[in-house]
Amino acid sequence: MAFADVLGQTHACQQLRHAMQQDALAHSWIFAGPEGVGKRLTALALVQGLLCQSPSHQTDGLPDSCGRCRSCRHLASWAHPDLHFVQPTSDKTQIVVEQIRAACQFLAMTAMEGRWKVVVIDDALAMNESAASALLKTLEEPSPQSLLILLTTTPGRLLATIRSRCQMLRFAPLSPPILTSLLERQTSVALEVRQQAAQLAEGSMARAITLCQPELVQMRDELMADLTTIANQPLALLCSMAENWSERERFQQTLLLLRSWLRSNWHDHPVTRHWIAYSLWLEQINRTAAIYNLNRQLTLESVFIRLQRLLILQQQRTVAMSGQ
């Protein structure tokens, strides 16, 4: 993965390439941005650029990897003796202190093939308290020619002492045209499905791929049909909708589809502030549901009732504005 292959993150890639060219690369970085926007790919591009055996320069004069040498071929599968990748343990909930200690010991060793030793920590927020504390000494006293990259969607939740010792690099959501182009390469679904997924994905490639799955396409169509009539439904029917969408395998996807629908539509609403607050509330529900065993039906009843109130408010505002 060369920098030239990373789409939609020109600013982030150029900042890293300028630092490489000037030999001014910070020892520790936080790559921060939404899920599925290219943080991991950019980390791989940076590692490949540092460890490439035949580095080249693009037309903009900035360095990049060749993509052909032995080092680049190994890194295509994240396999290189000078790279150590850390991610949550098999239960997918935590990065534990033993993993961080091993990573710190790895950084302290001499590089075997390249000039750099690199550790990439995926989902850095998954570090438990002991693991985060163990990382601090390495951040305070980095080894020469060592590089540490933390990937996270919510940098503000990392320890302040970690944030203060790292260079922050922010990643923007991907545009719908870029997502549509990427989906064409990675899926075989129809253009209309790709375009709809790109519009609903909130700039996330991971979410766009999920939205292209046939069962999600069908769910989306069914949910959109329900949403078109929700403003005029009595309470009993809202509760029936909640029951229908609260099945375990549908609950999380319902929240995803609803949030995506809101994000793609709220700019046309005369009560945008309320829609943003509602979407943030949905995100909080989604995070809570990932940790606790919520009553799914009661949760969706609240979601649909609050949505109905917002739609009614929107209708009232629209009528009032048209009468002015």
CATH for 31: 3.40.50.300
pLDDT of residue 12: 95
* pLDDT category of residue 323 using cuts at 50, 70 and 90: low
Give residue 160's identity as a one-letter amino acid code: A
Q: Are 196 and 275 part of one and the same domain?
A: no
Identify whether residues 241 and 258 lie together within a single domain.
Answer: yes
Is the pLDDT at 92 greater than 70? The verdict is no
pLDDT category at 324 given cuts 50, 70, 90 is low
Q: Which of 212, 232, 265 is the last residue of a domain?
A: 212
Q: Of all helices (H) and strands (E), which one includes residue 15?
A: helix 10-21
Q: Indicate the average pLDDT of the chain.
A: 89
Q: Do 145 and 7 sit in the same domain of this protein?
A: yes
- Give the model's confidence band at 97: pLDDT under 50 very low, under 70 low, under 90 confident, else very high: very high
Higher-scoring residue by pLDDT: 59, 21: 21
Q: What does the block give as tokens for 144?
A: 């020469």
- Which residue spans within the chain are E strands per DSSP? 28-32, 56-57, 63-64, 83-86, 117-121, 146-152, 167-170
pLDDT tens, residue by residue, 127-163: 999 999 999 988 998 888 999 999 999 899 999 999 9
Give per-residue pLDDT as tens, 163-217: 999 999 999 999 999 999 999 999 888 999 899 889 888 889 988 998 888 888 8
> Which among 92, 54, 57, 94 is positioned nearest to 71, based on CA atoms?
54
Is 111 exposed, middle or buried, given 0-12, 13-18 or 19+ CB atoms closer than 10 A? middle
For residues 73 and 114, state if they share a domain. Answer: yes
In this structure, the answer to whether residues 187 and 302 fall within a common structural domain is no
What is the rounded CA–CA span in Å between residue 313 and residue 150?
Answer: 43
Whether residues 161 and 13 share a domain: the answer is yes
pLDDT at 264: 65
Q: Do 141 and 22 share a structural domain?
A: yes
Whether residues 202 and 300 share a domain: the answer is: no
- The answer on 284 and 223 residing in a single domain is yes
What's the pLDDT at 269?
Answer: 57
Examine the fold and report which residue of 170, 201, 229 is the final residue of a domain before the chain moves on. 170
* Domain termination site, one of 170, 204, 237: 170
Cα separation of the two ends of the chain: 56
Beta-bridge partners for 170: 32
Q: Is there a single domain that holds both residue 222 and residue 156?
A: no
Q: pLDDT tier at 248 (50, 70, 90 boundaries)?
A: confident
**Three-class SS string for 107-176?**
HHCCCCCCCCEEEEECCHHHECHHHHHHHHHHHHCCCCCEEEEEEECCHHHCCHHHHCCCEEEECCCCCH
Q: Residue 287: its pLDDT value, please?
A: 77
Q: For the stretch 205-225, what's the b/e string if a residue is b when 16 or more beta carbons lie within 10 angstroms of its beta carbon?
A: bebbbbbbeeebbebbeebee
77 plus 10 within the same structural domain: yes
User: Per-residue pLDDT for 9 more than 90?
Assistant: yes
Binning pLDDT at 50, 70 and 90, where does residue 320 land?
A: confident
Sign of CA dihedral 162, 159, 83, 32: negative
To the nearest whole percent, how much of the chain has pLDDT over 70? 95
User: Rounded to 5 degrees, what angle do the CA atoms 141, 143, 148 make?
Assistant: 90
Structural domain for 206, as ranges = 175-212
Same domain, 205 and 218: no
Q: How far apart are CA 134 and CA 101, in angstroms?
A: 7
Task: Tell me which residue of 85, 99, 154, 170 sits closest to 128, measured CA to CA.
Answer: 99
Distance from the Cα of residue 59 to its chain's centroid: 30
Crossing angle for the helix pair 248-265 and 272-291, nearest 10 degrees? 160
State the total domains in the chain. Answer: 3
pLDDT of amino acid 266: 62
